[in-house]
Chain A
Amino acid sequence: MIRLIVSAILQSVLNFFVRWYGTGSQFFWSRVFEWFASLDRTFGVAINARLIMHPLYGDYSPVGRVIGPVFRLGRIALGAATYALLFVFAGAAWLAWLAIPALLLITMLVPARL
């Protein structure tokens, strides 16, 4: 019985690290990428990149052919910058996630300098 209880306690601690770092990270990034995909259904960065040389609103006049890529490039740049920023935030959140138990352990185990 004692062996069972000790095993259960040790298993809890081990599982905690496996779940926090392994399963948790997997879950986090799959949700982040799903979120980016749904964002792009609204902002259309990928589709604008694909159609970068197409004029806006079907305006195939010479002016339209020049303005189109310019506006698209701007939209792509803005979108990409937004995505990059969001990715940085996501990355930071993930790093914070990873750091929490480590920091706690370090604080616990390393005595504070006097």
Chain B
Amino acid sequence: MNQTDSLVLNSSYFRMPYVQRLACRALLAGVFGFAAAVSIVFVQGPSAQLRAAGLFLILVLADTGFHAVRGNRAITSETLRMFGSRRAIRVNDFFLLRSFRFLDASLTDAELAQSAHTCLFMFKRMLREDEIRRGMMRLGIAPGEFSSDLDKKIQAARGTCSIDAVKGLRCEDQRVAEIEALARAGFGEAVELGERSISPSALFAACMAVEQKNLSDLFSKYHLNEADFRNAVVFGRLSKGLGRKMRAKRGSAAGMVQAGSRVNRAWTSRPTSYLDTLSDDLTDKAHRNEIGFLVGHEEEYRAMLNILSRPNRNNVILVGDEDIGKSAIVEHLAHEIARDNVPSKLFDKRLVALDTTRLSAGAASGSEILKRFKQVTEEIIAAGNIVLYIPDIHTIEQLNNKGEISVFEALEALAAASQIPLIGDTTPRLYRQIIELNQKFVSLFETVKMRELDQDETVRLLVYESYALENEWRIIISYPAIRKTVELAYQFLRQKPLPRASLDLLQETLAEAHSRGDSVLTPEAVVSVVARKTNIPIAVAHGTEAKQLLDLETKIHERFIDQDEAVKAVAAALRQYRAGLARQKGPIATFLFVGPTGVGKTELSKALAELYFGSEAAMIRFDMSEYQDQKAVAQFIGSPDGAAGGAFVEAVKQKPFSLILLDEFEKANSQLIDIFLPIFDEGKITDTLSREIDFKNTIIICTSNANSQYIKEQIEQGKAVADFSGDLKRALVDYFKPELLNRFDGIIAFRQLGKDEIGKIVALNIRSLAKQVMDAHGIVLQVSDEALVRIAELGYDPVFGARPLRGVISTKIKDPLARRILDGSVRRNDTVRVADEKGDITLAKA
């Protein structure tokens, strides 16, 4: 049984035909109008009786009029209890007049159009409501476009009155049944929206639920459902309500007001005139509603509150990245203190933020700063009602006075005395580097680690901020755009934590949308900004890029010879990624290329980097043979104390969309190799400062010469790589852990290059050289076929593969050519012919 089944609509009014309803309304209006006229006359009457009657009538009429507009009854907690326990509720009393009129007018439209679908006509009328229009726009739906599609449906519904085949209802009864269903659903939607009466927005959402079957094609075209619409309306109201307050707060906080020294209500404190010159009174600001708004961080706030309420060791240090919300929760504490919403230990206290800049400003020496600090401390202790907040508490450590007691030590003494609660904040890196070195200090403070806001909390915060931003930029921010902003900021802009990253992204996107003259901010605008900032192709590939992806193997083979299996594997991985079909966790793809030296393992990576990632420079390359010892591990991933970042971690942070090539992977320190387990699985790791490093937009290629001999033997026996890949994997267990091997998307054996392949590689290299010479010097380089064969012979080594080729080309062609260019014997527009003369490579000007 549906919860709304217990709701009852007195539908006697709606059962009347249009003319009768019109007459009823006219008569009612006439009666009340007459009563109003009578009351005015009576009020001016000669006798007290008449005047009293007139006044009484005015009171009744005013009350009736007021509640006719706002609903006879409000949805209260008592109503909700009745609704929850499915007791009968008469929903007529909860309609706003506007909502009632929509029902009535839509019923009339349906009657005149001889249609049974009142909802269709109601949709049409309600699209003129401001809140509904804005709700649709917030969902990224253009009301005009939706209205046009709706017109087609309405046109199709005209003159379709017939008896219901299932229930046997006449058209009029079908319309009334739909009104009853709408009214019941409207009440349910009003409850979901937290309303006191059934508003037009609630009815609109109810219509969606009622007409789901008939309009499913329209709703799916616009991705519209009642839950999303409700969210858009709620967020519109929230952003207006709280956003207006936040905007006002910003305005009033713009001018700094120096608070006078205050004594508390309980008369237990003393003035702190000196402290007031070096600090800001946060409780005072909270009293004026300038600060205190907090989204999320409930756990951290409660933890901080519990620590501060203790009888001793009541000092807390908040540790978190910049812009994560440390000062927000301290300001929220000030807000709660101002409202007496704190434990008794913190009742009637002043939360004061010490400004270390003002403390040290103009001081000639460290001892003067210490003297000031001691004076402040004495005032604080005498006052007895101060909670001291020191932002960036690590800066106290830097106010050192060589040879004498430092401010830091004085602060330690204050903390140890537990006379006043202390709050400090710092970042994880500075906590490790400065605070943690002082064990005594650490023991006096309880640490509260600040976590980043999650995406839902950030969306909520952005909704509140959106009111002010919409007014500033004159652009409506759609709800999908807010969700996309948070999603993409979290995924791709990890240099700053949420919500800062998403707020900055939203501002930047609004600025761009404003310059384009857009009136609504869409998710596509956000995607475009993020793609530009990060150089990561976020949107699904289309146009030129899609063509390139479809033909990627051919493109790769234009500069890379053979090794078809490997080429197919990497091309397939990229196509899946750009079509949005890559696996949700893990990097784009992970490959282990195994094979002898000089067969193209690294060359393929370079070709892919140049072709798809822009250039070879976009590739992050590490020779893992350089990371064999323990010290090298710290160089690779970062020092344990967080003082130095790791080369690998920093490189990926700079280029989140890249190809990572790890050469000679088997030679790396085993501890290092283990780090790749979570990277291959989840696509992320946590660095030494507890920050997440995201690998989800990288292709990781590891190369190895392990078991090359085995591969060579298998290929010489004429076996295809696919035939012995299982055995190869088992053989690789000698070099890599099985759990690591299992995490590769592909382990690909590279075969030895034959003479044909070498010849093609030579041709490729010579073509590249000829282009270079033409571009740089305007010289045409022609190489005979015999010379190409000879170079291939000289450049091939059974052990080193094609590796010597580069050296041969350099010695036999590049060096002699360079000499001729430098001595002027070869100039622009000349042609140089390279030939094979009895086994020697010669160059001659044509």
Q: Are B268's CB and A57's CB within 8 A?
A: yes
Q: Are A41's CB and B49's CB within 8 A?
A: no
A104 at the interface (CB under 8 A from B): yes
A95 at the interface (CB under 8 A from B): no
Contact among B28, B64, B67, B382 with A58 in the assembled complex (CB-CB below 8 Å): B382
Give the A-B pair count, Cβ closer than 8 A: 92
A9 at the interface (CB under 8 A from B): yes
Give, as a whole number of angstroms, the nearest-CB distance from A92 to chain B.
Answer: 20
Q: Are A108's CB and B267's CB within 8 A?
A: no
Q: Are A104's CB and B64's CB within 8 A?
A: no
Q: Are A105's CB and B56's CB within 8 A?
A: yes
Task: Give A48's nearest chain B residue, CB to CB.
Answer: B266
Give, as a whole number of angstroms, the nearest-CB distance from B349 to chain A.
Answer: 12
Contact among B56, B64, B340 with A108 in the assembled complex (CB-CB below 8 Å): B56
Given A4-B12, A104-B56, A107-B48, verify A57-B270 contact (CB < 8 Å): yes
B720 at the interface (CB under 8 A from A): no
Contact among B59, B60, B267 with A57 in the assembled complex (CB-CB below 8 Å): B267
Q: Are A16's CB and B63's CB within 8 A?
A: yes
Given A104-B52, A104-B55, A108-B56, verify A12-B266 contact (CB < 8 Å): no
Please encode chain A, from 62 to 83, with 1 for each CB lying within 8 Å of some chain B CB and 0 for all others: 0000001001100100000000
Q: In the assembly, what is the distance between CA of A32 and CA of B146, in Å?
A: 49
B72 at the interface (CB under 8 A from A): yes
Please encode chain A, from 1 to 43, with 1 for each CB lying within 8 Å of some chain B CB and 0 for all others: 1001100110011011001100000000000000000000111
Q: In the assembly, what is the distance between CA of A42 and CA of B59, in Å?
A: 37
Number of contacting residues on A, CB 8 A? 35
Q: Are B267's CB and A71's CB within 8 A?
A: yes
Question: A residues within 8 A CB of B67?
Answer: 15, 19
B735 at the interface (CB under 8 A from A): no
Q: In the assembly, what is the distance between CA of A15 and CA of B266, in Å?
A: 47
Please encode chain B, from 27 to 70, with 1 for each CB lying within 8 Å of some chain A CB and 0 for all others: 11001000000000000000111011101100110011001000
Q: In the assembly, what is the distance between CA of A48 and CA of B263, in Å?
A: 13
Contact among B60, B340, B347 with A12 in the assembled complex (CB-CB below 8 Å): B60
Question: A residues within 8 A CB of B340?
Answer: 41
Q: Are B265's CB and A16's CB within 8 A?
A: no
Within 8 A of B (CB), among A75-106: 75, 100-101, 103-105
Q: Are A100's CB and B59's CB within 8 A?
A: yes
Q: In the assembly, what is the distance between CA of A105 and CA of B64, in Å?
A: 18
A114 at the interface (CB under 8 A from B): no
Contact among B49, B63, B72, B270 with A112 in the assembled complex (CB-CB below 8 Å): B49
Task: Point out residues on B near A: beta carbons under 8 Å.
Answer: 12-13, 16, 20, 23-24, 27-28, 31, 47-49, 51-53, 55-56, 59-60, 63-64, 67, 72, 263-270, 338-340, 347-348, 382-384
Task: Point out residues on A near B: beta carbons under 8 Å.
Answer: 1, 4-5, 8-9, 12-13, 15-16, 19-20, 41-44, 47-48, 51, 54, 56-58, 68, 71-72, 75, 100-101, 103-105, 107-108, 111-112
Known: A12-B64, A68-B267, A107-B48. 16 other contacts (CB 8 A): A1-B23, A4-B13, A4-B24, A15-B72, A43-B265, A48-B265, A48-B266, A56-B268, A57-B263, A72-B267, A104-B55, A105-B52, A107-B49, A107-B52, A108-B52, A112-B49
Query: Nearest 3 CB-CB pairs, A to B?
Result: A44-B265, A107-B52, A104-B56
Q: Can you list 13 A-B pairs with a CB-CB distance of less than 8 A?
A: A1-B24, A13-B60, A16-B59, A16-B64, A20-B59, A20-B63, A41-B265, A44-B348, A58-B384, A72-B267, A100-B59, A101-B59, A108-B49
